Structure 1
């Protein structure tokens, strides 16, 4: 034990004895408002002893006297139960209030949101930028294994632990949706349904459209047609890295890859993103119709067609919209 800690410990013992002899004065200091003039966030590192906690709180201005705080913690017996973490203490909080908040472990709760349709590489990148988490991702998670959702965590939690929570949530959601799926769907395994759900997720951001879009792809699978989905080409071109950053070209559609559904028949080998619950449910309870084509309608949604002739007319209208906007961005026609 260093001289500083010995002096602190000795002084603390004396403070405990004095506080025990002057109970009224001690209680007043214990329950009186503290010096904080505005809320303050303080991080108590894991492994901190009572002395270190008291000094940290004193340096942060939460308490006026580390010695009085430590004495109060000793006298009340709460020093054994003080929990590390990130705390936000309100203005004027008393020593009593600080001890109770730390005894209960009422730490700051952070929110980490995984948007629908991100690849696993993109999710890992988001986690890496989250300063409140610790550790590095030991192994890149399997594509499609992470459920897009908002997750709560405390300062110092592990990134790998958060990944495990996302995977457990996806496993549960997929199992429930698979159990309640419509009959006679062209899937042999839940993983195949998850793969199509990832395509649906990337094809439309409109929740109401997802069952209809899912129905289009299921109709194509049942008819032996190629899925011809642009997002699968982008996934192949970026190797799962995320956005391409440019419009697809005709040469892109010819890319030899099992993920390119313009070249390869049937479903890709696996998901191309992490789909949300709504897309998974849309694939396993799709809208039943006869549409086998769809293309952007210029308003953020899509227009659907049963025949190639109708589809070509819809494509022509979409190209007129593109030309009027004088932009090269937007969805490509062959869908």
Structure 2
């Protein structure tokens, strides 16, 4: 009798385990399989929201078939506590696993209305954009100079709790420019007691909450630049005439101001590295300009011969080696170029009339290139 009971119990246990395995397999297929969304949506995750709450929201929006399976799937994957606040574009047919990855990845919002306070080399601009979930493309709604009149429509957009705010630094801006322009960002608060060291701010895009302090944002920019420099320094080429990461940052800032063409950065870097190796002066105009302006605005005119000869700590026509500080805030690509230049014999370069530069190994070649550039300038001025 007991043998029969045991056999029956074992049979029931096997059936139960088989059913459980079937349910688990079915749940995995539901979690990883295509979702029910027929069109993309913009999913807003509130600050402080839980994955349990989000699962119900997703079910209500028709993005998942079962809130219970979604929640269990994120717990099984060990990501239920990684939920980020923001507005996220969820594509049509996204699986539960794909949605979970979207809302736990990095917290960068990818849809909704966004105010981007962009600080450029010459001026700042406020750009209000909206993303169309159907196409994934941004549409510009408003753009204006923050130092001028603010459009009335902007006030309503800025006051909406659903609007996201972003501050973007262009490559090559100076620290003084950043601080001055941030004063016009009305969604930020607080004073800045001291302009950060030149070169110490990372040109990048920073999503911010309204009311965040300007000083706190600058601290984040500095921390990000430290990380950029540390990684690039660790991966630097051997034998460079750069003794410290700080010297690399100085060279990167010069590269940043000399070319806006990504493909040229490492070649421009090679020219300056070759000059440093041979003990030649760098003779780069942007350093002369910085010695005049100290990074406080654009020069707004060409350099005079007297200025090229005037001694300042930054005038590389006069001083030997690198200037004492960076002359702008270089982006990560220019930092990488300074520490991994092309292997060339070039010692000179000059504008070629197309926005780029032509490079030369000898002074005779360079002088010929300069004559061609001056003829291009003369022809343009004549037209």
Q: Shorter-chain-normalised TM-score: which range?
A: 0.5 to 0.7
Q: Match for 1:238 among 293, 301, 321?
A: 293
Residues 271-305 of structure 1: CA distance to partner in whole angstroms, max 9, x if unpaired?
Answer: 00000000000000110100000000000000000
Structure with greater helix percent: 1
Q: Match for 1:88 among 135, 142, 160?
A: 160
| Matches of 1:130 and 1:147, distance apart in 2 | 18
In structure 1, the residue corresponding to 2:160 is in which secondary structure?
strand
Tell me the residue number matched to 1:212: 267
Q: Give the TM-score normalised by structure 2.
A: 0.58
Residue pairs, 1:66-145, within 5 angstroms: 88=160, 108-145=163-200
| Matches of 1:237 and 1:318, distance apart in 2 | 25
How far apart are 1:249 and its partner, in Å? 1.1
Q: Match for 1:148 among 190, 203, 225?
A: 203
Count of residue pairs brought into register by the alignment: 226
Greater relative CO (CA pairs within 8 A, separation 6+): 1
Residues 202-226 of structure 1: CA distance to partner in whole angstroms, max 9, x if unpaired?
Answer: 0000011000000000000001000
2:336 counterpart of 1:315 = no
Tell me the residue number matched to 2:340: 285
Tell me the residue number matched to 1:177: 232
In structure 2, the residue corresponding to 1:294 is in which secondary structure?
strand
How far apart are 1:165 and its partner, in Å? 0.3
Q: Is there any run of 5+ residues in structure 1 with no aligned partner, and where?
A: 1-40, 42-85, 91-107, 328-335
Q: Give the TM-score normalised by structure 1.
A: 0.66
Residue pairs, 1:4-83, within 5 angstroms: none
| Matches of 1:182 and 1:111, distance apart in 2 | 35
Q: Match for 2:220 among 159, 165, 185?
A: 165
Residues 162-209 of structure 1: CA distance to partner in whole angstroms, max 9, x if unpaired?
Answer: 000000000000000000100000111000000000000000000110
2:253 counterpart of 1:198 = yes
In structure 2, the residue corresponding to 1:129 is in which secondary structure?
coil
Residues 31-54 of structure 1: CA distance to partner in whole angstroms, max 9, x if unpaired?
Answer: xxxxxxxxxx9xxxxxxxxxxxxx
8 Å CA contact retained: 1:118, 1:242: no
In structure 2, the residue corresponding to 1:253 is in which secondary structure?
helix
| Matches of 1:87 and 1:245, distance apart in 2 | 37
In structure 2, the residue corresponding to 1:209 is in which secondary structure?
helix
Tell me the residue number matched to 1:258: 313
Q: Match for 1:304 among 338, 355, 359?
A: 359
Residues 2-23 of structure 1: CA distance to partner in whole angstroms, max 9, x if unpaired?
Answer: xxxxxxxxxxxxxxxxxxxxxx
| Matches of 1:89 and 1:258, distance apart in 2 | 49
Tell me the residue number matched to 1:189: 244
| Matches of 2:305 and 2:172, distance apart in 1 | 24
How far apart are 1:136 and its partner, in Å? 1.1
| Matches of 2:298 and 2:281, distance apart in 1 | 23
8 Å CA contact retained: 1:200, 1:210: yes
| Matches of 1:217 and 1:276, distance apart in 2 | 18
How far apart are 1:258 and its partner, in Å? 1.4
